[in-house]
Chain A
Amino acid sequence: MQIPAPFDYVRASSVDNALELLQRHGTESRVIAGGHSLLPMMKLRLARPEWLIDINDLYELDFILRDGDTLRIGAMTRHTTLLESDEIAGIFPIVRDAESVIADPIVRNRGTIGGSLCQADPAEDLSTVCDVLGAEAVIRGPAGERILTMADFHRGPYETAVGQDELLCELRFPLRPRSSSAYEKVERRVGDWAVGAAGAAITLAADGTISDAAVGLTALGLDGTLAEAADVLRGRHPAEELFVEAGRLAAAACDPVDDQRGPVDYKRHLADELTRRVLRLACTRAAKTQEG
């Protein structure tokens, strides 16, 4: 029987209250949202917090809001909500692509976007989604609010810029006309982490050329987005040879590890093939928004 080590439990009633509790209980306290990463780690005693601060009552962080040129998503928004949101699927189809293959439907009822990003697993799909969409993270702490780019947010595996006494409250996504996106993942079975995955976001200019592009990889050893691929795509009309070249660059730039999910050469092949597929799909989708 896997049971966590003893801890004390307290439920936060608001963001301010959560911040107070984090200050009061200090470095041995951890915030719990959906709990589907933290509780398994606590069962294995890889995590032994003395205090758990439950933020599941912070409904103020469960929202999807269109605010001018920005889409704002609260950190406590559950995966299921993100998956089922037609508004998000219309603007950022990459979110539905990714959410439909994150964990399984039952885990998605509990897991949150904020929890996924803060867990910062190298195989976390939403990290790639946020990277390619150019999201910003809104973090609150005792000193007030700060807003970080994803490049500043990510620190490495299982590590982010969110301080011990801080809380990730919101993700902000810029809305761009004539844009679309896509995500594709290869997994061994439902609920497993990715063997590899790729995400892409594309913006077209009025003349149909690619004005901006972002390509990211999941679980394949690439931090952030692939600048070389964006350089190849920008200013050109979407075409198969561009996708092939971007795929080649992705395979060369990534640094996958050999593990039980596959050898390095197979994972590089995935980086290549999945990059081509998501670029193809994102460009097709972006062209449709232009027609509409």
Chain B
Amino acid sequence: MKVSMTVNGNDVTNEIEPRVLLVHYIREVLGLTGTHWGCDTSNCGTCVVLMDGQPVKSCTVLAAMAAGHDIRTVEGLASGGSLDPVQQGFMEEHGLQCGFCTSGMMLTARALLDKNPHPDATEIRQAISGQICRCTGYATIVRSVQWAAAHPAGTGVDDAPAADEVLDGTDTPVPDFATEIVDTEVKA
């Protein structure tokens, strides 16, 4: 069947099987692998995307059901060359460790802040309660969202670097611990 929807502001149309889940459509058909695929059972929330501005678990929505709707993925967070305050907040407050839950967490945070620009810590914890951070880094995730709430886009208080500066990674030095780990012999 043919499905058409808007993804990060772009109109997309594809021929797919009706049983294709939205997460696989986004990752495999559209090639947007920033949306992660985790538990498959709508428990972990790593696959969260925004559908008409509301967070949904894309492993439990058919791509066919999303047809005609407006989908936003993590790739659609940065705009005009600037990171979304939520992305900047996750950088400032170390909101990620392994990064697996991060895109879903950031999209939920974006939807929360759009609805409630000044959430308290409890409201943030409730908003992300359907998502699992396997590194258990919840305290820093909450602080990251609070940072974003305190630095809304367009207020001039954020000095977010341009998105391409951050994302191309060319200037990122290899941290020392990485070489240390490689050099360490594993003892049987």
Contacts and interface: CB of A to CB of B under 8 A. Distances in A.
B129 A2 contact: no
B54 A35 contact: no
A40 interface: yes
Contacts, number: 76
Interface string B1-32: 10000000000000001110100100000000
A163 interface: no
Given A3-B21, A5-B19, A8-B18, A103 B60 contact: no
A109 B60 CA distance: 12
B64 A107 contact: no
How many residues of A sit at the interface, in one of the four size bands? Answer: 20 to 34
A191 B19 CA distance: 25
A103 B60 CA distance: 13
A162 to B, nearest CB: 21
Contacts of B60: 35-36, 39-40, 107, 110
Contacts of B24: 1, 3
Contact of A9 (B18, B21, B126): B18
Interface in A85-103: 103
Nearest to B41: A40
A107 to B, nearest CB: 6
Interface in A224-261: none
A42 to B, nearest CB: 8
A266 interface: no
Interface string B44-64: 010010000011110011101
B97 interface: no
A5 B56 CA distance: 22
A43 B41 CA distance: 9
Interface string A94-124: 0000000001111101100000000000000
Interface of A: 1-9, 32, 35-36, 39-40, 43, 52, 54, 56, 80, 103-107, 109-110, 190-191
Given A105-B126, A110-B60, 20 more contacts: A3-B19, A3-B21, A5-B19, A6-B18, A6-B19, A8-B18, A35-B60, A35-B62, A36-B60, A40-B42, A43-B40, A103-B130, A104-B45, A105-B130, A106-B55, A107-B57, A107-B60, A110-B56, A190-B129, A190-B130
20 contacts: A1-B24, A3-B19, A3-B21, A6-B17, A6-B18, A7-B18, A35-B60, A35-B62, A35-B65, A39-B60, A39-B61, A43-B40, A43-B41, A104-B130, A104-B131, A105-B55, A105-B126, A105-B130, A110-B60, A190-B129
Interface of B: 1, 17-19, 21, 24, 40-43, 45, 48, 54-57, 60-62, 64-65, 108, 126-127, 129-131
